[in-house]
Structure 1
Amino acid sequence: MDGDEAIAIVGVGCRYPGADNLKDFWELLRNGEDHITDIPKNRWNNQAFYDEDPDAKGKSYVKKAAFIEDINGFDNKFFGISAAEAKAMDPQQKLVLECSHMAFEDGGFTQQYLDGSNTGVYMGVMTDDHRGMQLDALEDMVTYTATGMTSSIISNRVSYTYNLQGPSLSLDAACSSGLVAIHLASLALRQGDIELAVCGGVNLLPL
């Protein structure tokens, strides 16, 4: 690839608060919707965690946040993952798999086309709350605990599921993680290291 050649975005997949796909997200932006809400009890009991003192140990002084719907509504059979393994997976792994599949469909890429292709996966990820929760419950450890709580697997899941043969990495650059992932993918495309890239970011508090 010529170093000055433009890079085309050929497919997009996303999940955001108030939007389960690209069409919904566009409508959200067009309407100027605000999906910051009170923390719902089905995510966590904020009364147990809240304290108006921002320096209170073991507490939070946040009352509102933005939430996506049904973080555990994952069709594991569709991706060839057993129920036992899916139960141990960080919800961020599930979201990235789902959004990557959306992007492939949006771009018109079939599984046959992707199989064995020189496609890289670059994912930005900052939080690892699921890992902390698993380490606090070692008595519940199962065969899939290690892969289920490891950030590197967030990108590796996509590579493995679609047999993508390019680089597969998860990176933490704090709030810029997703943008840095896109930057690295762009460099790899321009250098000819890969022919196609799946890149983006994920951030979820799975309480």
Structure 2
Amino acid sequence: MRDFVELTGIVIKSMPIGDFDRRVTIFTKERGKIYAFAKGARRINNQMMGFARIFAYGKFKLYEGRDSYNIVNADIANYFEEVSADIESTCYGTYFLEMLDYYTKEALVDIESLKLIYYTLLALTKKSIPNRLVRRIFELKLMTINGEYDLTPGLKDKTALYTWEYIIYSKPEKLFTFVITEEALTEIEKYMDIMIRKYIDRHFHSLDILEDIL
């Protein structure tokens, strides 16, 4: 008898397998990062196409095998179409997923990071907050959740320092509620770049694409 599980999560990576299938990475609320096959996802008009798209967030029904999962069905609550429809937003979103993939671990539950990516992608759909600020909020909060950050990196601007501390101590759902001056954002960008070089030993290829279009 097959064992089915229902997990809430978001597709953070999707790659082709064979002629018709896809292998996806889903970051889930219940089991952290998992890997699953979406059979037929490369066939035109197959419902699995939607289930295997990056940014797809919802409840996934999966058959749990010995070494991997297979997607049986899914109830997608949000495809973040506004992100996918805009080149700049897509580049930012892809970068966020790549950084999330770097930090998250298989089978390690991390609800805060799941909340963070959800509210970050929502923020990309709203033009009231600059994407540059969305990026730095996401980077700092994700690194804070994983214990790799500097509490006082040497910020001189008072607004930048207050913002830095606010991001560190606030819940993900409270983060994307403000804007700051260009001077404060520029200083935060400077010290975030320094901190990323200090703690992260991977080059994110999606960041190259993002920087090329900006």
Q: TM-score, normalised by structure 2?
A: 0.28
Greater helix proportion: 2
Greater strand proportion: 2
Structure having greater relative contact order (Cα 8 Å, sep ≥ 6) = 1
